[in-house]
Chains A and B, each alone.
Chain A
Amino acid sequence: MSEAAEDDRAESIRMIRDSAAAVAPRGGDSKRVRALRFTDPGYDPAVLRQMGEMGWIGLRLPEAAGGAGLGMGEMCALAEELGAGLAPEPLIPAALSAALLGYADDQAALTPLLAGEALTLTAWQERADSLVTPGTPDAKRIFVPMAGGATQFLLPLREGTRMALHLLPAAGADLTIERTQDGGTYGTLRPDLSRATRIADDVGGVIGRVLDEAALATAAYLLGTMEAAFALTLQYLRTRQQFGRIIGTFQSLQHRAADLKIQLSLTRAGVEGAAAAFDAGATGDAARAVVSRAKARAAEASLRVTRECIQLHGGIGYTDEYDAGLYLRKAMVLANQYGSAALHRRRFLETAPEDEE
């Protein structure tokens, strides 16, 4: 990239961060997030519409398809900001569906999704902790995030060597909802194929890539969540007094904060590096390896950072009134979404080339 192009890129990412922070302020008051917890559908449809108006749901889609044509660098910056503000709106699952609908070139379904007026969710998952899409016609689809807000579902269906894509209206669908720790939901869908419409003959070539982008964006969201939890912790270490001293002066606590900073920096390096690799055109195993490295680190580090956030706060960290618990619960939900650390570690070894040393 030329210097001018790099500057443009940095500016584009900065602008995305600024506009994201306006919707989900980093370290802002958590009133909005708290008010939406454990409600139906668990997020604010007006804010999802706002995200659509900002062009975020179609951020990665080419401009010709109605998207913004931006890169994974922008997508990860956006997800990170939303994670720092704990935004509950299902932007990542919506963007995943937008990519499939764009590929299927189904403008009728795509346009309202991109505008944030309708929510299309992809019901791809048949087993816990997996990133593969078997497309079994009669299998129930599990762990559909924020499924209670869906207007329709996308169903990948195996047909011989091809993976067809069907569209199923949410109204009248056999859907059960379970609540999640962060106040959102997971849905289990038992698809009735007689009510579904086929919209593409074969998405088998793109669905893996689309899931990988969702996994990477989730890692970026977790990075934002742990950054915010860490900032809260540092603020506490700088102000809380016990034994006549600011507790941040105790060396044992300083060392633990330093260890967390190392984890945060490793996660950022992994996430931003993976996004840059995507934007530089990485495909196949090379792309899968960097996603897995980023998500494995983000999953593990986010659980650790949010646990330590509670411990370093002491008793107050264990109250629901204090925000430390919001970060802990968000990490619990997202750490294993689009693949756990163990899954991604395994996949990393299968896809990463060995260093020649």
Chain B
Amino acid sequence: MPRQLSTSPSETGSDAMNAVTIPRPQDLNGLDDESFRAVVRRFLAENYPPELRNPPKRLHWSENKVWYHKLAEKGWLCPGWPQEYGGLGLSPGKLIILTEEYERHGVARTNDHGIIMLGPLVIKYGTEAQKQRFLPKILTGEHIWCQGYSEPNSGSDLASLRTEAVLDGDHYVVNGQKTWTTLASDANWIFLLVRTDKQAKKQEGISFLLVDMKTPGITVKPIINLEMHDEFCETFFDNVRVPRENLVGQPNKGWDMAKALLSFERIFLGSPRQSAYALARLKQLAETMGVAEEPAFRDRYAQLRLDLDDLKALYGRFVEVLKQGRSLGPDVSMLKVFQSELFQRITDTMLEIAGENAGLLEPIGGNLNLNPTGQYIQARPTSIYGGTNEIQRNIIAKNVLELPG
């Protein structure tokens, strides 16, 4: 059985748990893996707001800022950043353990684009002045960042993006439209991929620009998704004047910078956690519907469990690569394809066994653990976001198998 998210670590091993003390943030990376895992569990049991566990929808800033500020206060906000910039300086292996434990505990994501995307990019490519200006404000929660990459006509083909930034004296003038800007309505800063050279090859005319969302000419319009949630927005730019010093790295090198940053994150799209959580819920649903002992269900369930265990094994291999300090290759796309489609097959099975409950808008009897329709809908975009599964299969065919064409 996958470990149940509803069982908190404090309930499972309270004696062992009480023996754990939480070291200073700067000492965390020096722990061995097992001790580190125990510390993270203790930390979550002590600090994570119980009412925010396993939220059915992505939380807005007004809902998650309690946790953001708690992490900041404890010095745990930016686990991947070097210690000199206020991070925990965790190794890739430790970062994965941390993420696994957060997922296991059902920790909600915060407005974390500054932490996981912008911060590391500024640390790697920014000037000293940019580091001094932006990093501390992420650590205090003063700057809440969102990401402006995709456009209505540039989804899978992101490099075709057309939002342009034209130099006019000391300013770039930005015009265009971004979409899927996650939680843009909460954010006060946005990082953009913009076209700065229309003549160059499409990947080579793109720059990385930081924009204060209070600048005149920016309009944010929420998009209601199929979960009836306003997680995403469309963001419009109409002659938005951005100071030249807000460009990160070299002009026209934005594509390579953004791409380099994505490689580590790609393993998380293949994390087995989502499927493990859903499979445990499928079992509960089968028991509620009275089909858990039926041979047809048991065969399907066995197949899904085998798939999950195989996924965990494959995931473990990629984790090993990272732990050895090596970077991930294009083959990590296999994880994302298999995990998202396994999650979908689990939720498809939920609908199939749920009877008329498969049509309900809300969880069955108000029980969040019996939410087949919510899970079915949540599973839909996992094969779309982070690079559609069609694109991932192209990557496997071209860059792993090196098939012609």
Contacts and interface: CB of A to CB of B under 8 A. Distances in A.
Contacts of A335: 351, 358
Interface string B346-383: 00100111111111111000000000010011001101
A178 B223 contact: no
B27 interface: no
Contacts, number: 119
A130 B291 CA distance: 13
25 contacts: A128-B355, A129-B356, A130-B355, A181-B360, A241-B153, A243-B156, A244-B157, A244-B160, A253-B390, A303-B351, A311-B380, A311-B383, A315-B384, A316-B152, A318-B225, A318-B381, A318-B384, A319-B226, A321-B223, A321-B224, A325-B226, A328-B226, A332-B373, A336-B352, A336-B359
A336 B226 contact: no
A303 B359 contact: no
Contacts of A241: 153
Contacts of B403: none
A181 B227 CA distance: 10
Q: Taking chain A's interface residues, is the majority helix, strand, or loop, or is none over half, making it mixed?
A: mixed
A318 B226 contact: yes
Interface of A: 125, 128-130, 142-143, 178-182, 186, 241-244, 250, 252-253, 303, 307, 310-311, 314-321, 325, 328, 332-337, 340-342
A181 B380 contact: no
User: Which of B226, B228, B377 has most chain A Cβ within 10 Å?
Assistant: B226
B155 interface: yes
Contact of A342 (B352, B373, B385): B352
A179 B224 contact: no
A341 B352 contact: yes
A252 B380 CA distance: 19
A128 B384 contact: no
Nearest to A300: B352
B352 A128 contact: no
A318 B226 CA distance: 6
A242 B388 CA distance: 13
B401 interface: no
B225 A319 contact: yes
A298 B383 CA distance: 24
A179 B385 contact: no
Contacts of A181: 359-361, 373
Interface residues of B, number: 44
Nearest to B390: A252
A41 to B, nearest CB: 15
Nearest 4 CB-CB pairs, A to B?
A129-B355, A128-B355, A333-B359, A242-B157
Contact of A128 (B154, B155, B351, B356): B356
A323 to B, nearest CB: 12
Nearest to A345: B296
User: Which of B150, B223, B359, B362 has most chain A Cβ within 10 Å?
Assistant: B359
Given A242-B160, A315-B384, A319-B225, 12 more contacts: A128-B289, A182-B359, A186-B356, A311-B383, A311-B384, A315-B155, A318-B384, A320-B226, A328-B380, A333-B358, A333-B359, A335-B358
Contacts of A179: 360-362
A325 B352 CA distance: 19
A128 B393 CA distance: 39
A142 B360 CA distance: 12
B361 A314 contact: no
Contacts of B377: 328
B383 A186 contact: no
A336 B156 contact: no
A332 B383 contact: no
B356 to A, nearest CB: 4
A240 to B, nearest CB: 9
B380 A307 contact: yes
B179 interface: yes
B261 to A, nearest CB: 21
B385 A315 contact: yes
A334 B384 contact: no
B172 interface: no
B361 A342 contact: no
Contacts of B225: 318-320
A232 B276 CA distance: 34
B180 interface: yes
User: Which of A130, A241, A321, A325 has most chain B Cβ within 10 Å?
Assistant: A325
